[in-house]
């Protein structure tokens, strides 16, 4: 397996399934009160350039839950904010900690850190990908539906980092994925082309939410303006009219469809309060699963995945 986790397409189905399987065991054990110490004596650094509630706390809780320690550093408070090169930061942090978990803007930042780091680098969200989140989402789908391959998944909204990681997940696991994005807001063309070239699953992009959601077992939404796009918020609100997941749109999915949202949600924009709080929404299970997936990832990369 890879020594860094930068995007889902870098992994085989067996690799990704093993994270989910392990996370499910850790979740069950935690509910039985079983506590672990296998990362005792190990430390991770969380290097975050964007805000976070779930990802930060779930990585920290996961690490502490396995007996390890965490150092959190916001990039603007570090020397990175004053222009220290990524390659120097990577080599210095590698001497102190056992893994680096990064939330940043460009995918090239995590790639550069990984190139120079001698410890695993884990992508905790870039503008292009949110791989750990989508692993938690896949775990949630498996819990609810019992299968990934047999589920029809829909994505409604922006072709953003989450959409890109879902496209990669569909191509690795081979489940059908239909997306509806307004013209000009489609997913990354290169990611889409590469995923389609694997030929494992049909991945279809529409500009009509009704077409994408028809009969879907899993319905995914996310904010219309991601972190870093705040200046476009007003413009996006106009463009994305018609892409809101409300009860009428959800009624066109399968009757027992589940609703996923990685959160934070903007109620009244990409999703209504009724749908987010409704019986089909599993968003808080999804949020919980982040912690179990992160524990499985940390355990794997620190116990077996060190690059040196």
Residues that bind ligand CP (CB under 6 A): 52-55, 125, 133, 262-264
Asked if 70 and 43 touch (Cβ cutoff 8 Å), the reply is yes
Window 248-287: residues binding ligand NVA (CB under 6 A):
262
53 binds, among ligand CP, ligand NVA, none (CB under 5 to 8 A by kind): ligand CP
27 Cα distance to chain centroid: 18
Tell me the residue nearest to ligand CP as measured from the CB. 55
Based on CB atoms, which residue is closest to ligand CP, 94 or 281? Answer: 281
Number of residues forming the site for ligand NVA (CB under 6 A): 10
Based on CB atoms, which residue is closest to ligand NVA, 20 or 125? Answer: 125
Asked if 75 and 81 touch (Cβ cutoff 8 Å), the reply is yes
Does 222 bind ligand NVA (CB under 6 A)? Our answer is yes
Based on CB atoms, which residue is closest to ligand NVA, 42 or 103? Answer: 103
> Of 79-87, 222-230, 236-244, 273-281, which part binds ligand NVA (CB under 6 A)?
222-230
Based on CB atoms, which residue is closest to ligand CP, 26 or 134? Answer: 134
160 binds, among ligand NVA, ligand CP, none (CB under 5 to 8 A by kind): ligand NVA
**H-helix segments, the chain:** 13-31, 54-65, 86-96, 107-116, 131-145, 161-173, 189-198, 209-213, 233-239, 247-250, 273-276, 283-303
Please state, as a whole number, how many other Cβ atoms lie within 10 Å of the Cβ of residue 9: 18
Does 227 bind ligand NVA (CB under 6 A)? Our answer is yes
As a whole number of angstroms, the distance between CA 135 and CA 115 comes to: 23
* Length of the chain, in residues: 308
Nearest approach in angstroms of CB 223 to ligand NVA is 5
As a whole number of angstroms, the distance between CA 148 and CA 27 comes to: 19
Which of residues 136, 160, 164, 178 is near ligand NVA by CB under 6 A? 160
Nearest residue to 177 via CA among 141, 146, 144, 143: 141
Interacting residues with ligand NVA (CB under 6 A): 125, 130, 160-162, 222-223, 226-227, 262
């Amino acid at each position: 397996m890879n020594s860094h986790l930068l995007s889902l397409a870098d992994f085989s189905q067996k690799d990704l399934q093993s994270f989910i399987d392990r996370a499910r065991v850790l979740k069950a054990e935690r509910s039985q009160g079983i506590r672990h110490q296998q990362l005792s004596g190990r430390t991770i650094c969380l290097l975050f350039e964007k805000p976070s509630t779930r990802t930060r706390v779930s990585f920290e809780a996961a690490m502490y839950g396995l007996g390890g320690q965490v150092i959190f550093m916001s990039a603007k408070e570090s020397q990175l904010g004053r222009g220290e090169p990524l390659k120097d930061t990577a080599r210095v942090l590698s001497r102190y900690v056992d893994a680096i978990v990064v939330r940043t803007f460009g995918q090239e930042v995590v790639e550069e850190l990984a190139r120079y780091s001698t410890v695993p680098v884990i992508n905790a969200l870039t503008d292009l990908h949110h791989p750990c989140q989508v692993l938690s989402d896949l775990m949630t789908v498996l819990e609810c539906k019992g299968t990934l391959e047999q589920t029809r998944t829909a994505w409604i909204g922006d072709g953003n980092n989450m959409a890109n990681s879902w496209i990669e997940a569909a191509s690795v696991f081979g489940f059908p994925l239909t997306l509806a994005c307004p013209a000009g807001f489609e997913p990354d063309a290169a990611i889409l082309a590469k995923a389609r070239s694997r030929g494992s699953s049909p991945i279809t992009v529409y500009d009509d939410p009704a077409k994408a959601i028809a009969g879907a077992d899993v319905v995914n939404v996310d904010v219309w303006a991601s972190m870093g796009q705040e200046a476009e918020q007003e413009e996006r609100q106009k463009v994305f009219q018609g892409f809101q997941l409300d009860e009428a749109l959800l009624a066109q999915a399968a009757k027992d469809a589940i609703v996923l949202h990685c959160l934070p949600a903007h109620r009244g924009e990409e999703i209504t309060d009724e749908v987010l709080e409704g019986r089909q929404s599993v968003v808080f299970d999804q949020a919980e699963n982040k912690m179990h997936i992160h524990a499985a990832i940390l355990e794997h990369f620190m116990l077996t995945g060190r690059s040196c």
